[in-house]
Structure 1
Amino acid sequence: MANYLWWRDGVIYQIYPRSFKDSNGDGIGDLPGITAKLDYLAWLGVEAVWLSPIYPSPFYDFGYDISDYEDIDPLFGSLADFDQLLLEAHKRKIRVVMDLVMNHTSHLHPWFIESRAGRESGKRDWYIWRDPAPDGGPPNNWQSVFGGSAWEYDAVSGQFYYHQFLKEQPDLNWRNPAVYQRMFQMMRFWLERGVDGFRLDVIEALYKDAEFRSNPTVWRPDLAGFGLRAYDRQQHLYDRNQPEIMDVLRDIRRLLDKYPERMAVGETSDLKSAISYIGADKLHLAFNFEFNAQNKNTLPWLPRYFQNVVQRYEAQLPADGWPCYVFSNHDTPRHASRLGGGPYADARAKVAATLLLTQRGTPFLYYGEELGMQTTPIPRNELQDPVGLRYWPLYSGRDPSRTPMQWTSDPHAGFSTHKPWLRVNPDYGRRNVAEQTEDPLSVLSYYRRLIRLRREAPALRRGAIQFLQKRPVEGLAYLRVAPEQTYLIALNFFGREITLKLDEALPQPHWQLRLSTAFGEHRRVRGNTIKLAPFEACLLEAEQEY
């Protein structure tokens, strides 16, 4: 396929390894389990998998606290298992992206153990240590994302160390050239092993203000918990997104450009940062979380909301930037529940899938969303997420979106022969891969057809996007236009029949239906109107004129 580039044209699928497939009966997913399911992923049509952290870790934050950057935790397997996964994935033309946490390590990493041994330690400056404030308290007002002060006092040395997350996750000092060089050495280790790219965790946090100034306070009622955390009540001018980060991004890009077809996608906290981090000399991609409702109480299921997100994003993107969208991930409630749940959850899931997979940009899927998997209520006595344990019952944490993949209607959803590390959603008897594979009307079958159509249609992969209504109310209509092809996408967000009246003229009157969620045939396009069945999502291709 001419000019096909996997990270730009393909679909990337996030796997939370401990919840995907257990191969050895310990109730925890592992690398051989993922390898065993590569044929499923190839059948689904995804171009790459992103693996959440699989490095050695004490798992205070489920792998985002790394104690060795160049090995695999025995819980998941071995380096040999990883190499086998990489080999088998590449045989199926599936790329492998690793989650890379460069902002902080585990407090049990040998580097930090040496660093905290004393002020004269050779690795003292590998982490961020500061003297107490004049009153004996923390050096400034910086707060942890997970709650409380971001400074932890060390009685042995009489100094505080900085941790943007848990106290068991001390931040590295990127102003130390030795740290900088060592992290790039680690990236080369994985690139030489054949890894295809990196998802860069909290990449905007690598640098902190050199003067350690306190953040100003701010009131943000739009955030989850209405500022439940003190972190939410600060304007983060000094503890993230410092100017020096741009040099890191450029150096990462220079490194990746030495290896064929490698990529990096960054995680940032806002759209402004995401846009500034991408380009020909910076990151390939950075997540736009405005479909994801990251840190928000809710995400409105309204056509105008999504159109505004896309239009603002497209207007601000640099000419050498490329969009990137995601509905769900390991940190947020699953969107099949977040967008309404209930009896119409599957219908909405198909509309959301169409919206995601027909945007100009790279779509990221979260394991199980292709089944319409929903957020699973977890009782207090089964919670494992440290954030949920801290804030329950106001917030139950991230466990509800990390439950085991639902493969079959067998016990434990075919995920394991043993009781899983988290309970399985009770709907697994009917919502599973085996059942939905056989049902042509299932969410899974629709995702597969949509992914295949996207791969085959250059307009859906690379075409410009043009919205056809100025103020959409009930649905969305937009064109994807490439030199050789034009697609019309129409979405009904609600459970009633609607007729969309277009403000922009269609380029031609004749359209061929390529995919729809609705039953039966009817003429959808009449002049400048589009008639849609309840919760219908349809894709039509302009007929070629000869």
Structure 2
Amino acid sequence: MGKWWQDSTVYQIYPRSFNDSNGDGIGDINGITERLPYLKQLGIEIIWLSPVYQSPNDDNGYDISDYEAIMDEFGTMEDYDRMSAEANRLGLKIMMDLVVNHTSDEHHWFIESRESKTSDKRDYYIWHNPKVNGEPPTNWAAAFGGSVWEFDEKTGQYYLHLFSKKQPDLNWENEAMRRDVYQMMRNWLDKGVAGFRMDVINMISKDPRYPDGEVMKTGYTDGSPYYFNGPKVHDYLKEMHQAALADYETITVGEMPNVSLEQAKLYTAEDRKELDMVFNFDHVGLGDGELGKWTPEAWKLTELKQIFTRWQEGLDQVGWNSLYWSNHDQPRAISRFGDNRNEYREKSGKMLATCLHMLKGTPYVFQGEEIGMTNVQFDSIEDYRDLESINAYHELTAKGLLSEDEMMAAIYKRGRDNARTPMQWSSETNAGFTIGEPWVKVNPNYTDINVKDALAREDSIFYYYKQLIELRKQYEIIVTGRYQLLYPTREDVYVYERLLDDQVLLVLTNFTDDVVSVDLAADLTKATCLITNETEAIKQTETGYTLQPYGAYAFLLNNK
């Protein structure tokens, strides 16, 4: 069956929003420990833990000031060790978030680095002189707005930050810095973590020439060709594998915006010994307009099928796919790809789950996805906490590129806080997440959508996810079968096969609220239905087989 993680399912916890144990309105590690039996019941085996390290929280923990301490708001290292021991007892593994493209500007490395040009840590970060006219070294725009360069009065140089100015980029050219990172990784592996999800890891190698980027029609200056998939990134990842990972049984996945399939083959090929998987962004970028996700447009199912098919076929026998609909940076899956309306919310959620979990790769479930949580619409930008959304709102409205109403509509569809509203545990106050004032408002629909309700109903999305997770353990064809797309040009259905020896796994999903017919040569009356979100057996008519709105089936049959 291959590597130990290939038939496993990963569950992502965003700690700030998962479960608050002490009433301060912020999720914490003891809160996670309380809920581990729930995850065990779901059947997942690996927990991806978003950052819990010490951080001033400029970007919700992705600005780390101490890699080997726990954020005060989340608890202590003793709390972490207790959670880790309980997870281990339940057979759950923990995959930590590794954020080593940048640190916080409050990390002691950076504090020392900015002290003087002769500091031992100066070259742990990327410093450059101003241009002759005093302007920044390049015209690159930062991910959260403004320039990627911040001027430091004390030393008269600029430091690079591809994200917030409080997130200075590490200088991976510096061997001593790299050694310190690898030692930190080994320390966590020695504590028992199973591996790492690596934040924007394909941005660690920059073009040493630092050329100016193209100025787009919107005025945005794009430096991305010079810091994505840079000249030494493969050297660094091979070195990281050898120095930090090779002596352990690990799972590694690299978050990689702007990664192509051909590049992903290099990152994930087993014989290259870099990473096990990458997160690509092709499908979550569907419908991006002129201003990216802030001008969302309609997307087509044929486009989604093309993307999934390209990655399924492209990495087959070469690398390994990560499968996901949503995470802490993406809107809720049902709101993005399914149907929010009450009559179809659960059914479309089950359909999306079927479509994804029957593909080849390791599935990732984001907290709340298994109960069908949806996007939220807060009244005002003041209710939002996401740095990216807030900065984009002010920058794009100030420039007159979008009106306030247009910007709010875009945030409702694609903003990151859609994923970050508190986990909905019950219909009690604040969804049972906290007895205090939550750090970000709870989605008002928690009275209808919550864990307590899901566990009480046999037909809930929760038990559907549980069944999908179990099927992956039971049927090798789901793990290793070859993928083959059917009906590539249809905009209503996504139908594909998985093939292994003389077996065929046929997956049928209807992405519309219409009844549709699929003409199939196979006799499904003799096939084994592994899972369906329908209450009845599939109907056969003169024109083929009928799929109800958002219907989904997975059949196992012998290949004649």
Q: TM-score, with normalisation over the residues of structure 1?
A: 0.92
Which residue of structure 1 lines up, in the alignment, with residue 258 of structure 2?
Answer: 270
Q: Match for 2:551: what amino acid?
A: E
Q: Match for 1:345: what amino acid?
A: R
After superposition, residues 314-393 of structure 1 pair within 5 angstroms as 314-317=312-315, 319-339=317-337, 340-343=339-342, 344-378=344-378, 379-392=380-393, 393=404
The whole-number CA distance in structure 1 between the counterparts of 2:297 and 2:93 is: 31
The whole-number CA distance in structure 2 between the counterparts of 1:424 and 1:19 is: 10
Cα deviation, 1:172-208, whole Å, max 9, x if unaligned, reads: 1111111111111111110111110101101111111
Cα deviation, 1:142-196, whole Å, max 9, x if unaligned, reads: 2211111100111111111111111111111111111111111111110111110
Measured after TM superposition, the shift of residue 288 of structure 1 is 2.6
Contact 1:267/1:274, CA 8 A, preserved across alignment = no
Q: How many residues align?
A: 530
Which residue of structure 2 lines up, in the alignment, with residue 188 of structure 1?
Answer: 186
Which residue of structure 1 lines up, in the alignment, with residue 62 of structure 2?
Answer: 64
Report SS of the residue matched to 1:436. Answer: helix
Change in 2 beyond 3 A, CA 1:37/1:383: same
Runs of 4+ with deviation above 6 angstroms: none
Which residue of structure 1 lines up, in the alignment, with residue 279 of structure 2?
Answer: 287
Cα deviation, 1:505-527, whole Å, max 9, x if unaligned, reads: 54997312222111223445x79
Report SS of the residue matched to 2:354. Answer: helix
Report SS of the residue matched to 1:70. Answer: strand
After superposition, residues 136-147 of structure 1 pair within 5 angstroms as 136-147=134-145
Measured after TM superposition, the shift of residue 64 of structure 1 is 0.6
After superposition, residues 86-97 of structure 1 pair within 5 angstroms as 86-97=84-95
Measured after TM superposition, the shift of residue 492 of structure 1 is 1.2
Measured after TM superposition, the shift of residue 54 of structure 1 is 0.5
Report SS of the residue matched to 1:7. Answer: coil
Which residue of structure 2 lines up, in the alignment, with residue 237 of structure 1?
Answer: 225
Q: TM-score, with normalisation over the residues of structure 2?
A: 0.89
Do structure 1's residue 536 and structure 2's residue 551 form an aligned pair?
yes
Change in 2 beyond 3 A, CA 1:299/1:437: farther
Unaligned runs of 5+ in 1: 220-226
After superposition, residues 300-311 of structure 1 pair within 5 angstroms as 302-311=300-309
Report SS of the residue matched to 2:497. Answer: strand
Q: Match for 1:278: what amino acid?
A: T
The whole-number CA distance in structure 2 between the counterparts of 1:467 and 1:412 is: 43
The whole-number CA distance in structure 2 between the counterparts of 1:84 and 1:483 is: 45
The whole-number CA distance in structure 2 between the counterparts of 1:351 and 1:302 is: 17
Change in 2 beyond 3 A, CA 1:103/1:260: closer
Contact 1:22/1:30, CA 8 A, preserved across alignment = yes
Which residue of structure 1 lines up, in the alignment, with residue 166 of structure 2?
Answer: 168
Report SS of the residue matched to 2:529. Answer: strand
Cα deviation, 1:366-391, whole Å, max 9, x if unaligned, reads: 11011111112233222222222222
After superposition, residues 20-169 of structure 1 pair within 5 angstroms as 20-169=18-167
Contact 1:289/1:325, CA 8 A, preserved across alignment = no
Do structure 1's residue 521 and structure 2's residue 537 form an aligned pair?
yes
Which residue of structure 2 lines up, in the alignment, with residue 252 of structure 1?
Answer: 240
Cα deviation, 1:462-495, whole Å, max 9, x if unaligned, reads: 2111222242232122212223743211111112
Unaligned runs of 5+ in 2: 287-291, 394-403
What is the aligned-residue identity percentage?
A: 38
The whole-number CA distance in structure 1 between the counterparts of 2:160 and 2:537 is: 62
The whole-number CA distance in structure 1 between the counterparts of 2:558 and 2:46 is: 32
Which residue of structure 1 lines up, in the alignment, with residue 493 of structure 2?
Answer: 475
Contact 1:61/1:386, CA 8 A, preserved across alignment = yes
Measured after TM superposition, the shift of residue 338 of structure 1 is 1.9
Measured after TM superposition, the shift of residue 500 of structure 1 is 0.9
The whole-number CA distance in structure 2 between the counterparts of 1:278 and 1:318 is: 11
Contact 1:511/1:541, CA 8 A, preserved across alignment = yes
The whole-number CA distance in structure 2 between the counterparts of 1:256 and 1:184 is: 5
Report SS of the residue matched to 2:159. Answer: strand
Report SS of the residue matched to 1:540. Answer: strand
Report SS of the residue matched to 1:199. Answer: strand
The whole-number CA distance in structure 2 between the counterparts of 1:7 and 1:442 is: 26
Which residue of structure 1 lines up, in the alignment, with residue 437 of structure 2?
Answer: 419
The whole-number CA distance in structure 2 between the counterparts of 1:324 and 1:333 is: 18
The whole-number CA distance in structure 2 between the counterparts of 1:135 and 1:44 is: 60
Which residue of structure 2 lines up, in the alignment, with residue 223 of structure 1?
Answer: none
Which residue of structure 2 lines up, in the alignment, with residue 511 of structure 1?
Answer: 527
